[in-house]
Chain A
Amino acid sequence: MAIAAPAAPPGLRKKRARRIIAVGGGKGGIGKTLLTANLGIALAQRGFKVVLVDADLGGANLHTCLGISQPAVTLSDYVSGRAKKLQEVIIPAGVDNLSLIPGGRDALDAANPKYQQKSKLLRNLAALEVDYLLLDLAAGTSLNVLDFFLMADRGLVVLLPEPTSIENAYRFIRAAFFRRLQALKDADGVANLVSEAMAKDEPALKTPFEFVAWARSQNPAAAERLQQEASSFRAGLVVNQSRSEADQDLGHAVASAWKKFFGLSLDYVGAIGYDDNAWRAVRKRRPLLLERPDCQAAVGLLKVADNVLALDRRLAQVR
């Protein structure tokens, strides 16, 4: 395990968080915060140094989920400049190896940081010397949310086994994908194609498949680049509140449908069973993994953590 390697000479120490995981999904109330908090705990319990970030600047409640009362300093203080250093807003989260950067309270101006503030924030978050940085994102597909999602090494999308939630997850990933394409400024013609396509907003361009096919007719070289982007883009998928075996299968079905009909890969990383213990724990303001580590939902959460680690090992081997 790669924690707290004190012996490493300063020059060789990694200059950034080893892995950044963002937890998003189109909709509110689907368990993003539950997943972030408990995934963080699971990773911390395995010995990784973890910092949780409540990136939901407008409606922060990660601290509540962890049983921490309203913190004195928050990410808003940092974004607004009241706190000079990111370290000043990091607080212990009540579990060994786990810290929290709480979200702001009611600081509406900070909920929509300016571009420069945001990129500074993203840069400094990424520079934290931890094993895992977990970002709990706000609902919706605003650019701030998408940019946090895209800065992560691994984006996890949470969905509930119901059509509305699935549709939202689909919109979310689509929006994230196109946002990423917009950021491609280096390749000739790519940016033009993207903005042209976005301006058109034709239903015929609604999937990466269709978009790449269209791009090929406009500018084959740029289309090749887009194709690469589509192949390399991947998000993880977590099904929350699954109630049946069919619901657990839903993750596979969604991943497969995306591959066949949409053109992006999803890694299905697990299902969290519907469990009364989950909301009981929230009501008690205790993280589920600490409150009821043996309950069905907790087992699902641990499995998600294992699968995320497995994906990371796989990634590390390939590199």
Chain B
Amino acid sequence: MKPYQQQNYYELLELPTTASAAEIHSAYKRAMELHDPASAAMYALADPAQIEDLRNLLLRARDTLIDRSLRADYDCSLGLPEADSAPQQLAMDEILWASSAPPPPPIERQGSSNGEPGAPEPYSAPAPLSSGTVEPESTPLNDEPAPLAAVAPVPVRARPKEIPQNAEFNGELLRQIRESQGLSLVQVSERTRISVRHLENVEADRYDALPATVYLRGMVISLARELKLDPIRVARSYLALVAGAPAKQK
């Protein structure tokens, strides 16, 4: 179990990684209802800023996962196998997802450590994809998919060049990587729709000048994706730097 800040988009939406676009939409809608700032359930558990943060992440999760190419990149960053063969890849076609009933997600066990493979499933909730800690009683009643506890460590798409395993992705490194790929700030800006000014601030590590963490996270992820880096790793690294910097705006 992880705090929402560390959950991946599927975990945030409580979806299996095979979820269809229709399922993503309804999970998003449901999650936004459940995590309504006015809900009494949040009382004493989360402050308004956290709830807002979560809601922003949910929105980002939906927007990423319903976009076929963004999702493919994202899946890749998680180390998930290529999903091209998934039958329910309806992706961006709004009409399709709106009108068709979602097919049940195929249950895909990576390492069925619990139970025989042929054992009948007593509940309709999709089996956890996790090969990590087994949570035997995982929410059988709510028709919720079990959370993705730990994605099997499938090797991530080969990283370009000589970036050390433990590299700290500061702005300077990001700039070097961008330049090594022959990309100009303007080109990156056009493709990521992040303004040149923001990109410059990211690369110059001007944390004070950067937008709030929620937005910054999205920006860094887009930038990392553009540079063919692991978006999650880069975002985590960069945001840690921002968080550690003195006098930084939240």
Contacts and interface: CB of A to CB of B under 8 A. Distances in A.
A314 B137 contact: yes
B135 A253 contact: no
Contacts of B142: 252, 255, 268
B35 A265 contact: no
A133 B48 CA distance: 41
Contacts of A254: 41
A240 B66 CA distance: 38
Interface in B127-145: 133-142
B140 A256 contact: no
Contacts of B1: 209, 227, 230-231, 259, 263-265
Interface stretch (B74-82, B115-123, B176-184, B201-209): B115-123
Interface residues of B, number: 39
Interface in A300-319: 307, 310-311, 313-315, 317-319
Given A256-B34, A257-B34, A261-B3, A250 B41 contact: yes
A307 B138 CA distance: 13
Contact of A231 (B4, B31, B133): B133
A258 B45 contact: yes
Nearest to B30: A252
B2 to A, nearest CB: 8
Interface string A198-242: 000000000001000000000000000001101110100000000
A79 to B, nearest CB: 32
A253 B39 contact: yes
A267 B137 contact: yes
B139 A267 contact: yes
Interface in B24-82: 31, 33-36, 39-46, 50, 54
Interface string A153-195: 0000000011100110010000000000000000000000000
Contacts of A260: 3-4, 7, 12, 35, 46, 54
Contacts of A162: 40
Nearest to B114: A318
B141 A257 contact: no
Contacts, number: 113
Interface in A257-277: 257-265, 267-269
A249 interface: yes
Interface residues of A, number: 41
B147 interface: yes
B118 to A, nearest CB: 13
Contacts of A232: 135
Nearest to B40: A163
A313 B3 CA distance: 29
Contacts of A313: 122
B40 A268 contact: no
Given A255-B139, A314-B136, A263 B45 contact: no
B57 to A, nearest CB: 10
Contacts of A263: 1, 3
Contacts of B2: 209
A231 B135 contact: yes
A311 B14 CA distance: 20
Contacts of A319: 136
A163 B43 contact: yes
B4 to A, nearest CB: 4
A250 B142 CA distance: 12
A315 B136 contact: yes
A228 B133 contact: yes
Nearest to A169: B44
Contact of A252 (B3, B4, B34, B138): B34
Contacts of A269: 141
A149 to B, nearest CB: 17
A168 to B, nearest CB: 9
A286 B136 CA distance: 37
B35 A253 contact: yes
A257 B136 contact: no
B139 A257 contact: no
Nearest to B39: A253
Closest CB pairs A-B (n = 3): A253-B41, A318-B136, A260-B4
14 contacts: A163-B43, A209-B3, A249-B34, A250-B40, A250-B41, A252-B142, A256-B14, A260-B7, A260-B12, A264-B1, A268-B139, A313-B122, A317-B115, A318-B134
Given A231-B1, A231-B149, A261-B3, 20 more contacts: A163-B44, A166-B40, A170-B45, A230-B1, A234-B137, A250-B40, A252-B34, A253-B35, A257-B35, A257-B45, A260-B12, A260-B35, A261-B54, A265-B135, A265-B137, A268-B141, A311-B137, A314-B140, A318-B134, A318-B136
